[in-house]
Amino acid sequence: MHPTLTPGTTLQNRYRVLQELGHGGFGRTYLAEDLGRFNERCAVKELEPQQGDQFSDKALQLFQREAAILYSIEHPQIPKFQAIFEENQRLFLVQDYIDGVTYRDLLNQRIQQGIAFSEAEVRQFLQQILPVLAHIHNKGIIHRDISPDNIMQRRPDSLPVLIDFGVVKEVVTRIQPPGTLSQATSVGKLGYAPSEQMQSGRAYPSSDLYALAVTAIVMLTGKEPQEIFDDVNLSWHLPTTLSPGLLQVLRRATSYRPGDRYQSVSEMAQALGAGVTASDTAAASPSQVRTVAVGRQYQPTRVGAATQAPNYTAPVPIAEPASVWENPWAVAVIGGILALLAGLGGWTLVSVLNRTPAPTPVPSPEITLDPQQPQPTPEPTAEPTPETSPVEYSQNLSIAPGSDRTVRGSLRSNETINYRLNATAGQVLLARMTGEGVLVTVLTPEGEPVDSSAQRVLNWQGTLPVDGEYIVQLRPVQGLEQSDYELEVSLSAQPDPEATVEPEPEPSVEPSPTVEPQPEPAPAPNPNANVVEQRVQIPPGQTSVQVSGQVNQDRSRRYIVNAQEGQVLALELPSVSGPVTLDVRFPNGELIPDASRVLSWQGQLPSSGNYIVDVSSPRPSNYVLTISAN
């Protein structure tokens, strides 16, 4: 088990730990601030392997796959999954920080006062949390760990927020060595999770609804599931004071057999809504027909008036009119009318049968589609939306000099994985890819391709120029939804002696009149010398983007930002490790008057075009630059 991170520790040069929030069977949770997002607070969760000190490559690949699923969830009552990374053989998750309190703590506060949640509060709780479950179930995701501990009441709006997805714990459980599973690594809490989930690990939408119903019962009673569950009859002791509608919903949702429960959120929500309106009419007769009292209208009497006996008079008999059928003239007229109607009806029927059927009325009820939309199935176009957001993973690649290593995995179209390894100048690095669906880029410690042949290729071999941490970056070929890969990486045992010999003898040839030493040590007069240029595009739907790198006295970075007239361009350096400054220029190259050697700049653009942002420093420095255009 790794030691607890101390406040002030910075992970990935970005997440600064403020304090520990909690510790469970699967790791610790810390409150941190994101230095790359203006010190915005976030929750950093460290996952600890149950056996050994680190996760295997298979474990990391499995977890990255599940992390991509969590990243696709977009709901205001679910913390946004931000990143996953590995540092010092420790695995971390980053999510939005929720300012609130768990329903477990709220219940404990009430128990100390001798009360629990009322039926009205529980009904409101269920109506607010059921849409959240519907959202994740529609994506094929089962939470697996619903309980009062994993639902928080957010302080700003008092809405319930669903936290700690059991899919994360399931991954940790599935990657344990054989024979190491225990109750501590079971997915789901005992008493809250249904039997099929605890015994076989299988979970369905009805499993989440079961756990949610148990959570509601615990909130209503203030007692733990073990205290109110009948092991003999496999039933729950529910409060008799509940309305019949809510009682019926909770009983069905907590049925022992999955097939007897509600099979979807909408089914349970409809039953809950029906229970609200039917609670006052549960004692009505089965026929559901109202009984209406029939009688004489009530005549009120004034207070103090003498009471008089009702004055009844004998009913006057009313003579009934003679029947129409007793009048022969009436019978004759009615018979004539009936004969006329019969003749008209027969003539109409014969004319209809002899008429050729018109073809137009047959297809008319079928023409229900919009003529501008001939394709009957436009839904699949909405499928790729979760894939539009880029996802980038980072993983350390431990490889000893003189050895090689092979890693395997799978990447979706929006995913990138960075394998990091430490190497020495002069060593020969080989990166070979099996298959054609994924391409390799080898980056220097400064984040640039090692050379022109090391970018988006299947194989690369070359001598490394400097000491430091190199990145072997994998990205799928454009147009493929998903690609499997097998990467072989090898590192030479000793630096190449030919590569380590620097061209230093040249300065010693001073007597030669043909050697001009001035151009070599003085590149400064050329403004384009040692300038690394990069074009920056802000993705659709976003207003800002972040870039980072290294600069020094001989090397600067230039970013080309395409912006439109009237937009407000904002530049800021939220994180630097030295005297880094910015120069901002118009598209024609002219320096903006108030944007020379600044740490931040903001202004409305007078024209459209490619604006230039130069980042420089008199000594080696790292930086993070935020570029916004609104």
Q: Which residue has the tokens 């501990």?
A: 149
Helix residue ranges, H only, 312-400: 328-354
- 211: left (phi > 0), else alpha (psi -120 to 50), else beta? alpha
Instruction: Give which of 378, 407, 403, 386 is closest to 395, Cα–Cα.
Output: 407
Dihedral, CA of residue 540, residue 543, residue 544 and residue 545, to nearest 10: 0
393: Cβ–Cβ under 8 A, 6 or more apart, which residues? 64, 67, 84, 85, 415, 416, 417, 418
How far, in Å, CA of 537 to CA of 543, rounded? Answer: 10
Residue burial 365-384, b: 16+ Cβ < 10 Å; e: rest:
eeeeeeeeeeeeeeeeeeee
Say if residue 104 is exposed, middle or buried (CB neighbours under 10 Å; 0-12, 13-18, 19+).
Answer: middle
DSSP 78: S
244-253 and 265-278 helices, crossing angle to 10°: 160
Q: Which of 53, 96, 145, 149 does the annotation list as catalytic?
A: 145
Say if residue 598 is exposed, middle or buried (CB neighbours under 10 Å; 0-12, 13-18, 19+).
Answer: middle
DSSP 501: -
Q: Are 459 and 511 in contact (CB under 8 A)?
A: no
Terminal CA-to-CA distance of the chain, rounded, Å? Answer: 47
Structure tokens at 557: 């970075």
How far, in Å, CA of 167 to CA of 502, rounded? Answer: 53
Q: How would DSSP label each residue in 171-223?
A: HHHHTSPTT---GGG-SS-TTTS-HHHHHH----HHHHHHHHHHHHHHHHH--
260: Cβ–Cβ under 8 A, 6 or more apart, which residues? 252
How far, in Å, CA of 352 to CA of 350, rounded? Answer: 5
For residue 145, indicate whether it is catalytic.
yes
Type and span of the H or E element at 29: strand 27-34
CA angle, 470 then 475 then 478, to 5°:
150
Instruction: Give which of 529, 620, 626 is closest to 582, Cα–Cα.
Output: 626
Which residues belong to the active site?
A: 145
